[in-house]
Amino acid sequence: MKLRFKNLDALFEYVLFFGTILVLWTPNSYSYILPQGFYGLFRWFQYLVAICPAALVIVKKKVNLMYVLNCVFCIILMFSTVIYHGHIHKCLNYVAPLIGTVSLIVLCIGSGREKELLLVFRYVLTAYILINIATYFLFPNGLYTTPKVIRLDDKPNTFLGNRNAYKFYGLMLILFSYLEESLKKKQKRVNYNMIAALGLSLLMEVLGESLTGSIIITAIALYYFFGDRIKTIRKIDPRILYFAASGIVAFSLIFLAVGQYTGLLAMAFGENITFSHRTFIWVAAEEVIMKHPVLGIGSQATDVTFVFLQNVNCHDQYLEVALRGGFVALGMFMFIVWTGMNKLSEYKKSPIVPFFAVCIFAAMVIDMVECETYSYAFLSYFTAMAYSWRYSSLYAEKRVGRKKKLVLRLT
């Protein structure tokens, strides 16, 4: 009887995790096609679900610095929106997935439920990617097309209405599949889940015609299969990777700010949309940011952003954060990433750290040409994992324990 009751508890836990993640992420993908009333109810349910894990982190006393920083980041975005008379409801659309997912990560890892959480993440992310790939082949002109979708997107063959939103999940699937296998006592010689994650992610990037994403996923795949032979990379401190990515970001933004040289990128890369069209969006975004440098223009409706940029977003995560929340929000965003990388450096001898740090570095690079349009959450998910990762905490505690035993023997 006890075994059956435990199984029911485990089943309920998995169902709860699945439901929470689906509600946090799904509503943003169907804003164009759901009836307004039903979509509104779905949104309010999303907000409620986001509050629950955030409240449980406090009640269960699992609060850490990463949780606090993400809460502050969300408050900055909401304050900016209110100041500039934006739509606070639209801001919640961005904030809810961020705070809800980060809280769920912190809560589960702090409570020893990381295995269950990673398993659910892997299934959900795999399903999203498979849906993306299926819609590309089944609906070449898009699963649905409306004048608004065509106006706001650069191509009609949209994945569930937004071609870029799910593309980020490939990198998340790769990292979470890797971490899930690393926690197993008996690791398989061949991690089929990891191979599937790499293959599906690369296929989705290629179908989405993402030059940057395809190159980065390929590089990560090569590092995964041959990384043990590259001792130099494995010994790099995660903080060095952070500074390297930050330097590339700073140089690119200054280069774009000059403006007159952006045409060189278009000439060098031909008709590739990453550099032939988005350079003009980046320059336009910088102009708006310099007019509202402190708090940005707030998380206003997509139509408002389209007026400023002639596009739905900045196609650059850093510019997007600065546009929505000014340099205050951008500084907080970069500090969140730094906190995760700095935490990884504290237990850099742990075998999971090199690949973990490389994934965050890759995320920082790809964020220079892409933007998660609905939550700003991508790097926060990664850094929340890095900061509160229980496996590495136990690794650090084990080292401390050895020192204590040595002292006891000497006395």
Alpha-carbon distance of 29 to 45, in angstroms, equals 15
Residue 364 Cα to chain centre, angstroms = 10
pLDDT at residue 46 in the model = 86
Full residue range of the structural domain in which residue 266 is found: 2-387
> Per-residue pLDDT tens for 296-339?
888 776 666 777 777 777 888 898 888 888 999 999 999 999 99
- Nearest of 243, 248, 257 to residue 345 by alpha carbon: 243
Average pLDDT, the chain: 77
- Compute the average pLDDT of residues 64-70: 90
pLDDT at residue 182 in the model = 85
Its pTM surpasses 0.75: yes
- The answer to whether residues 294 and 327 touch, using CB atoms and an 8 Å cutoff, is yes
**Residue whose pair of structure tokens reads 């510019």 in the numeric block:** 319
Query: How many domains does the chain fold into?
Result: 1
Range of lowest pLDDT (40-44, 317-321, 394-398): 394-398
Alpha-carbon distance of 12 to 127, in angstroms, equals 20
pLDDT tier for residue 404 given thresholds of 50, 70 and 90: very low
Burial code (b: 16+ CB inside 10 Å, e: under 16) for 30-50 equals ebbeeeeeeeeebbeebbebb
Residue 370, domain member (yes or no): yes
pLDDT at residue 391 in the model = 61
Residue 125, domain member (yes or no): yes
Residue 398, domain member (yes or no): no
- Compute the average pLDDT of residues 372-379: 64
- Nearest of 160, 147, 144, 120 to residue 21 by alpha carbon: 120
Residue 318, domain member (yes or no): yes
pLDDT tier for residue 81 given thresholds of 50, 70 and 90: confident
Rounded percentage of the chain residues whose pLDDT exceeds 70: 73
- Compute the average pLDDT of residues 107-135: 86
> Per-residue pLDDT tens for 225-271?
887 677 777 788 899 999 999 998 888 877 776 655 555 655 655 55
> Per-residue pLDDT tens for 185-216?
777 778 899 999 999 989 888 887 777 788 88
pLDDT at residue 408 in the model = 32
Residue 405, domain member (yes or no): no
pLDDT tier for residue 411 given thresholds of 50, 70 and 90: very low
Range of lowest pLDDT (46-55, 58-67, 125-134): 125-134
Residue 393, domain member (yes or no): no
